[in-house]
Amino acid sequence: MVKKRICLLLVLILTFSLSFSTAMAKKNDVQYGDIAYQHIFHLTNVIGARAAGSQGEADAAAYIYDTFRKLGYETTIQSFSYNRRGTDYYSANVIAVKPGKTDMQIIVGGHYDSVTAGKGVDDNASGIGVILEVAEILKDVNTPYTIKFIAFGAEEVGLKGSFEYASKMSEKEIKNTIVMINLDSLAVGDKMYAYGNDGKKGWFRDKALQIAKKLKLNMETNPGINPAYPAGTTGDWSDHKNFKDLGIPYLYFEATNWELAPYDGYTQTELDGEIWHTSKDTLEYIESAYPGRIREHLNTFVQVLAEFLKTCRNSPIE
């Protein structure tokens, strides 16, 4: 009996340690956000700054195009030019389509250009990294709606890429678009936010916040301290604007801090104020000043966006 008991004990210990090591292995396995991080590294530390109209911007477009193609998506380039202070510039949107069960579609977009200061890690390699990872997660998943992933060019010089796309949408496509999801500057702000329209169309923001809560992830919305930007909404300073102008509801993910003066959403962190559009927008600086923050944010936004796209069926406003 004693021997048998020892045997049983050994089996129990072995079983316990095996399952424990499996759990650890899972924990140390690939995490949500890791793929996004790799793309951010490539866009910022291999390619570098991606100012609108520059070689860096063109290299980023090619990299995004190749990534979508390798994932198996039908991918196209929408080239456009714009004139700024008397000079013509060229840029492009990169569009990958995931057919869904219906023609009804969700547009998931973010800009890949940057300013010349820093390397545009937060603004906005972070948004593109999350889009590319979510495209990878969903490539073999059936989604209720068709999803159009769009990487916009030339945002920093006046939302040019999103204007190009939105202004060429047919009436039918506008009608078929249930929501435009914009991702801009996700990596470094103190708080992770989801914004949406005021009123009934804000349902999409509420759905994203519900998902975050269910997954026990930190996400909130603009608290509305500043009456110019009512609670839950945000300003027209990024690519969602051009779709909002067409009457399409928007859902916008961003990290900043609305609780810091002057309460306009531009002050991103207590420590630094603004990181975007400064020389601090690099992996080296953000990792040293905010250890672990980029990975936490990518992990959160990837999970919420992927879950949103998998489960978004019908809004109560339809």
Q: CB of residue 250 vs Zn ion: minimum separation in angstroms?
A: 15
Candidates 119-127, 129-137, 196-204, 285-293; binding stretch for Zn ion (CB under 5 A): 119-127
Using the contact rule CB under 5 A, the part of the chain among 143-151, 168-176, 184-192, 299-307 near Zn ion is 184-192
Nearer to Zn ion, 65 or 276 (CB): 276
Name which of 82 and 112 has its Cβ closer to Zn ion: 112
Nearer to Zn ion, 52 or 312 (CB): 52
**Minimum separation from the CB atom of position 109 to Zn ion (A):** 11
Nearest to 174, CA basis, from 110, 248, 99, 78 = 248
Residue 46: strand, helix, or coil: helix
Query: Alpha carbon 147 to chain centroid distance?
Result: 14
Q: By C-beta, is 185 or 299 nearer to Zn ion? A: 185
Q: Name the residue nearer to Zn ion (CB basis): 124 or 146.
A: 124
Question: Going along 153-274, which residue ranges are E strands?
Answer: 177-183, 191-196, 250-256
Binding mask 120-139 for Zn ion (x = CB under 5 A): ---xx---------------
Least Å from the CB of residue 266 to Zn ion: 12
Residue selected from 122, 184, 254, 281 as contacting Zn ion according to rule CB under 5 A = 184
Nearer to Zn ion, 184 or 307 (CB): 184
Instruction: Identify the bridge partners of residue 109 per DSSP, sorted by sequence position.
Output: 150, 182
Q: Which residues of 73-87 are buried (b: 16+ CB within 10 A; e: fewer)?
A: bebeebebebeeeee
Cα 171 to Cα 103, 178, 248, 266, 315: the distances in Å are: 13, 13, 12, 34, 20
* Cβ distance to Zn ion smaller for residue 123 or 133: 123
In the bound complex, what is the minimum distance in angstroms from residue 173's beta carbon to Zn ion? 24
The maximal CA–CA distance of the chain, rounded, in angstroms, is 93
SS3 label, residue 94:
strand
Q: 18: Cβ–Cβ under 8 A, 6 or more apart, which residues?
A: none
Residue 201 or 241 having the CB closest to Zn ion:
241
Q: How far is the CB of 136 from Zn ion (least distance, A)?
A: 22
In whole angstroms, how close is the CB of 23 to Zn ion at the nearest point? 39
CB of residue 112 vs Zn ion: minimum separation in angstroms?
Answer: 10
Number of residues in contact with Zn ion under rule CB under 5 A: 3
Q: How far is the CB of 196 from Zn ion (least distance, A)?
A: 18
User: Are the C-beta atoms of 185 and 254 separated by less than 8 Å?
Assistant: yes
CB-CB contact of 286 with 294 (8 Å)? yes
Give whole-number Cα distances, 39 to 8, 12, 191, 198, in Å.
49, 43, 22, 33
CB under 8 Å to 28, separation ≥6 — which residues? none
- Please report, as residue ranges, which positions from 55 to 84 form the binding site for Zn ion (by CB under 5 A): none
What is the contact mask toward Zn ion in residues 147 to 176, using x (rule: CB under 5 A)? ------------------------------
Residues that bind Zn ion (CB under 5 A): 123-124, 184
